[in-house]
Amino acid sequence: MMTESICTGQPPAAILSLLMMFPKNVFQFNSLLFLAIILCFFTMNSNVGKSSNVGKMNIKCIENERRALLKLKAEIVDGFGLLTSWRAGAEEDDDCCLWQRVGCDNETGHITMLDLRGNPEGYFVANWINQSLAELHHLNYLDLSSNDLMIAEHSEFIGSLSKLKYLNVSFITSLGPLPYILANQTELETLDLSSYRPFRFRNLAWVSHLRSLRYLGLSGLNLNKATDWVEAIHQLPSLQELHLSDTDLPVIANIQSSLQLIYSSRNTSTTFLHTLDLSLNKLPSSSIYPWLFNFNHSLRYIDLSANHLQGTLPDNFRTFLSLEHLDLSSNHFQGGFPRFLGNLTGLKSLILSGNNLTGELFSVMEVFSGANTLKQLNLSWNRFNGSIPDISGIPSLMDLRLQGNQLKGFFQGSIEVLHNLVVLDASQNQLIGTLPDLSFFPSLRELYLDHNQFNTSLTSSIGCLSQLAVLYLGSNQLEGIITEAHFLTLSKLNVIDLSFNLHLELKLASNWIPPFQLAAMELGHLKIGPAFPKWLETQRHFFHLDMSNAGISDVFPSWFWDISPDLEYLNLSSNQIYGPLPDLPSKFRLFPIIDLRSNYLSGELPNITPDIMFLDLSQNKFTGSISVFCNSSRKIPTAFERSIHLQSLHLQNNYFEGEIPMKLGTCALLKVIDLGGNILSGNIPAWIGSSFPGLVVLILRSNEFSGTIPLSFCNLAHLQILDLSQNNFSGPIQKCISRLTAMTEEYISTTNSVKLLFKFPSFIVNIDTIERCRLVECNGIGKYFSESAFLTWKGTGYEYSNTLGLVKMLDLSSNFLHGEIPVEITSLNGLVGLNLSRNNFTGSIPQNLGKMPSLNFLDLSWNLISGSIPSSISELGKLGVLNLSYNNLSGRIPTREHFLTFDNSSYISNSQLCGSPLALLCPGDKTPQDSESNVVGGDGISTHHHEHEDRFLDMGFYFFMIFGFVFGFWGVVGTLVLKKSWRHTFFRSLNKLEDLVYVALELNKARLRR
């Protein structure tokens, strides 16, 4: 009987016979009992397997449920063949319990489990999921996550699935009314509605009815109207995991009063909560702490990252004795490192990155000295200083991140071997000297030491890291030669960055076969050439490849474009690659960024893959016929009609001619078009203004376009840069120019750069993004690529990239435009640069031109403009360059504020202009001789001196004091006034300094936001 109760099944005869032989000796009895239990265990497992097989063989699924699955399959698009086993017809296919992704009850044959979640290898598409699931009444597990699916508006049948215990519909296209239908699912234990789309919910009252919930995931939804979220959560007595990340939770003004009301109710007792994620909500301390500190005995996992928590870390955290994971990153904490964190003996992961914590790193490491549980310590992007001390005092440490602090000096490393350390990140500091001895970290899989000042050869100890998968050593001062020996044992290497080590050379034998397969390689600004590395032919899994400015002087090898179908980013710019460009393959799975600018590529423009997102072929030598596209020579190919994903096109400084093909208008996602510096001609197509609603940059400079500027250009509301200079345009500037909304707003760009968002397909949102996001800036749903543009700024050409978003410019110079400058142009308050020079404009300068507060560069020279200079222009406090020369202006030059800093070159060849800095005096101005005669009498003796001689002598002391001040002040200022070249240089320097300080501040703000 005892053994039967243990086995919970019919015991086999062998065990019964053993039990019949109960010995009197207790020791023998215990031994036989133990043997019986072991035999029972194996027998039970065998019986379970047999019963399962019997169930599969003899108890088939219910027929109406099988038909429901077939109907469901007919409603969805299974492009990846994930449901090939769902078939009707053959007898062996009748049992749907044997189908993939289906689970049945072995005793009844009812379908109880349906797992249709998507993944990187495949996903489903359906306009809606409707009544086909209604027949599966016994379903208790349903997973539809990570698919392109929509829950139909009339999906009440889901509420009839009363036995559901697990429901996961996260990251699908639309939830529809699903949440409100679930109110009666009282048996539901796991519910995940997380999304990358901000579906809005007015309240969470429906959640309070799901009293069996243990897991609730609502991350990514919009709950900014759900002021009842605290109350609703407290209605779930069994809740163990709560995920409300990035839900825009509303601030609860009187949360303390709400909590007192909640706790006074007998029906509220959320006491088992062990996992809490409130990250990315921007909540203040007052909306989190009063509620959070009530769970100090149960919580093991806390994520409060990316909120608005301020001050020092509260002492209350010392009471969370069960805490294992604490993430307070991307907040506003300041002060020293709290030592009480060292008393949380169960703490395994501590993430404090992105705050303003200070102090010596040595003291921080001392807090955890001897810790046996701490595995992850992330102190990145704070203000810790000092050198990196010996880290062997924390032997349990697996992941140490110190990126972006103020660490200086040498990297001491470790005096003992740390077998557990897997990730070490000390990048973006000011570390110097030699690299640490990496043989003390034999288990390292990820090493980040980039953006420091290491000035040594690549250490040979790197060859000891047989587990290394990720290596970042870029942007240092490393030197010497890298050979095959450095990679001999790195068979698991997946990502490598050695870029911007200008004195480092890669010398690998042409027949070398690497022991690894790389996914990402950054070797820009490294000595690699002159030939393409032959060993690249062995690599088949690249998604990121950068060999820009690497000294490559070669033609494209025949194998090059076959290296990987997963290529997302290719940069071979600034080399000396010559010859024709082969057809860009059409087999890329994703939408790649391809940058081949500044080479010597020539010949016809090839076939372009329809899936490309960014293409830069500028500053090459493309010529010849492109008949395969346009049936005439040397024209922009109409192949771009198929490039429906194209967001950025750079073809400047080549030799293309002809008109812009209409087929380019099918690329509706284009944000940047740069066709400058070619021989293009004809009228500008009017469809440009309607085909590219998101266009940000349009550069057609230095071509042979003619005709008028299309009226439709006024529809480009997002346009920030328009450069039509050095063409043959005629006609007036359209008065509707005020509709260029982006130029009317002073601060249109939320970041410094113009960025293209490459969206990850929904099925890869949560996979393999860490390395992608380190190489190219990411957010939760995709990656950003910073655009660049070559602009003529203040008479000089510059390439703008990281600060391109700060530039809003209108350049129509060197054309044949005429008429008056429309007053509507003064509504473009965001313009930083305005260049209308070398046209035939007449009339006067608009009086409100001084109401453009962002203007830094203004050039109206070489026109036929008349009238006076509006006094409002002197109010342009940011104006650094002004050119009004070669016009017909008249009257006095304004003298307010920094207008005095502009020399006569800004005004020359305006015969009727007068006043400083020109030599021509305005009527009523006094000459220097007149000023002197007012002071000196006829006898040459100052009458002022005679009349006030005694008073003058009495004020001698004050005279010398004032004289000293004037002499010192005008010694500097007078020199600047009288010396034109010095004055021009001085204020130009101040202007540059202003620009540098402004850009630096904006970059720091952008870094803190990340």
Quick one: pLDDT at residue 759? 45
Strand partners, 116: none
When pLDDT is averaged across residues 112-124 and rounded to a whole number, the result is: 83
Tokens of 777: 């800036």
When pLDDT is averaged across residues 607-616 and rounded to a whole number, the result is: 80
Highest mean pLDDT among 240-249, 597-606, 771-780: 240-249
Domain-ending residue, one of 136, 169, 188:
188
Quick one: pLDDT at residue 610? 67
Residue 933 has pLDDT above 60, yes or no: no
Instruction: Say how far apart CA 968 and CA 837 lie, in whole Å.
Output: 41
Residue 69 has pLDDT above 70, yes or no: yes
Tokens of 943: 């009458």
When pLDDT is averaged across residues 876-905 and rounded to a whole number, the result is: 87
Residue 644 has pLDDT above 70, yes or no: no
- Side-chain half-sphere of 468: how many Cα atoms within 13 Å? 24
Residue 967 has pLDDT above 60, yes or no: no
Domains contained in the chain, number: 4
When pLDDT is averaged across residues 201-226 and rounded to a whole number, the result is: 92
Residue 126 near residue 151 (C-beta atoms within 8 A) = no
Strand partners, 723: 699, 811
User: If you average pLDDT over every residue of the chain, what do you get?
Assistant: 80
Q: Do 511 and 494 fall within a single domain?
A: yes
Residue 426 near residue 452 (C-beta atoms within 8 A) = yes
Domain membership of residue 151 (yes or no) is yes
What CATH number is associated with residue 553?
Answer: 3.80.10.10
Domain membership of residue 138 (yes or no) is yes
Q: Give me the residue label for tokens 């053993």.
A: 18
Secondary structure (3-state) at 687 = coil
Domain membership of residue 116 (yes or no) is yes
Q: How confident is the model at residue 16 (pLDDT cuts 50, 70, 90)?
A: very low
Domain membership of residue 198 (yes or no) is no
Is the model more confident about 463 or about 725?
725
* CB within 8 Å of 101: residues ≥ 6 apart: 82, 83, 114, 115, 116
Give the distance, in angstroms, between the CA of residue 500 and the centroid of all CA atoms in the same chain.
22
Q: Do 76 and 12 fall within a single domain?
A: no
**pTM for this prediction:** 0.76
Domain interval for residue 547: 434-576
* pLDDT tens per residue, range 426-460: 999 999 999 888 888 999 999 999 999 999 898 88
Quick one: pLDDT at residue 767? 32
Q: Do 44 and 116 fall within a single domain?
A: no
Q: Do 177 and 139 fall within a single domain?
A: yes
Highest mean pLDDT among 553-557, 643-647, 665-669, 749-753: 553-557
Highest mean pLDDT among 107-121, 281-295, 308-322, 959-973: 308-322
CA nearest to 740, candidates 703, 699, 711: 711
Residue 25 has pLDDT above 50, yes or no: no
Q: Do 453 and 557 fall within a single domain?
A: yes
Instruction: Say how far apart CA 646 and CA 592 lie, in whole Å.
Output: 10
Domain membership of residue 480 (yes or no) is yes
Least confident window among 18-22, 153-157, 602-606, 772-776: 18-22
Instruction: Say how far apart CA 467 and CA 516 lie, in whole Å.
Output: 11
What is the percent of the chain with per-residue pLDDT over 90, rounded to a whole number? 47
CA nearest to 922, candidates 938, 907, 941: 907
Q: Do 6 and 19 fall within a single domain?
A: yes
Quick one: pLDDT at residue 737? 93
Quick one: pLDDT at residue 341? 94
Q: Do 72 and 178 fall within a single domain?
A: yes
Q: Which amino acid is at 243?
A: H
Q: Do 38 and 132 fall within a single domain?
A: no
Instruction: Say how far apart CA 755 and CA 784 lie, in whole Å.
Output: 6
Residue 1003 near residue 752 (C-beta atoms within 8 A) = yes
Quick one: pLDDT at residue 113? 96
Residue 956 has pLDDT above 70, yes or no: no
| Antiparallel, parallel or unpaired: β 755-759 and 301-303 | unpaired
Domain membership of residue 862 (yes or no) is no
Residue 785 has pLDDT above 60, yes or no: no
Instruction: Say how far apart CA 417 and CA 414 lie, in whole Å.
Output: 7
Q: How confident is the model at residue 263 (pLDDT cuts 50, 70, 90)?
A: low
Residue 231 has pLDDT above 60, yes or no: yes
Domain membership of residue 536 (yes or no) is yes
Q: Do 64 and 19 fall within a single domain?
A: no
Report DSSP letters for 316-337, one per residue.
Answer: GGGG-TT--EEE--SSEEEESP
- Side-chain half-sphere of 87: how many Cα atoms within 13 Å? 9
What is the percent of the chain with per-residue pLDDT over 70, rounded to a whole number? 74
Domain membership of residue 906 (yes or no) is no
Least confident window among 108-117, 316-325, 585-594, 754-763: 754-763
Residue 637 near residue 661 (C-beta atoms within 8 A) = yes
Q: How confident is the model at residue 264 (pLDDT cuts 50, 70, 90)?
A: low
Sheet holding 866-867, edge to edge: 866-867, 888-892, 912-914
Instruction: Say how far apart CA 726 and CA 540 lie, in whole Å.
Output: 46
Strand partners, 513: none
Is the model more confident about 160 or about 396?
396
Residue 300 near residue 324 (C-beta atoms within 8 A) = yes
* pLDDT tens per residue, range 516-558: 999 899 999 999 989 999 999 999 888 889 999 999 999 999 8
Q: How confident is the model at residue 262 (pLDDT cuts 50, 70, 90)?
A: low
Domain-ending residue, one of 151, 172, 188:
188
Q: Do 489 and 532 fall within a single domain?
A: yes
Instruction: Say how far apart CA 567 and CA 866 lie, in whole Å.
Output: 58
Q: How confident is the model at residue 155 (pLDDT cuts 50, 70, 90)?
A: low
Residue 748 has pLDDT above 50, yes or no: no
Domain-ending residue, one of 188, 213, 242:
188
Residue 465 has pLDDT above 60, yes or no: yes
Strand partners, 480: 504
Quick one: pLDDT at residue 781? 40
Q: Do 476 and 531 fall within a single domain?
A: yes
Length of the chain: 1010
When pLDDT is averaged across residues 736-748 and rounded to a whole number, the result is: 84
Residue 814 has pLDDT above 70, yes or no: yes
When pLDDT is averaged across residues 768-778 and rounded to a whole number, the result is: 51
Long-range pairs of 438-446 with CB within 8 A, sequence gap ≥ 24: 438/462, 438/464, 438/465, 439/464, 440/392, 440/413, 440/414, 440/415, 440/416, 441/414, 441/417, 441/465, 442/417, 442/466, 442/467, 443/418, 443/419, 443/467, 444/468, 445/469, 445/470, 445/492, 446/422, 446/470
Is the model more confident about 789 or about 934?
789
Q: Do 445 and 557 fall within a single domain?
A: yes
Instruction: Say how far apart CA 381 and CA 430 lie, in whole Å.
Output: 13
Quick one: pLDDT at residue 29? 40
Instruction: Say how far apart CA 757 and CA 764 lie, in whole Å.
Output: 15
Secondary structure (3-state) at 645 = coil
Report DSSP letters for 182-248, one per residue.
Answer: GGG-TT--EEE---SS--B-S--GGGGG-TT-SEEE-TTSB-TT-TTHHHHHTT-TT--EEE-TTS-
CA angle in degrees (0–180, nearest 5) for 482-487-492? 145
Highest mean pLDDT among 154-163, 898-907, 992-1001: 898-907
Q: Give me the helices (H) in 631-750, please.
A: 688-691, 741-744
Q: Which value, in Å, is the radius of gyration of the alpha carbons in the chain?
A: 37
Quick one: pLDDT at residue 952? 36
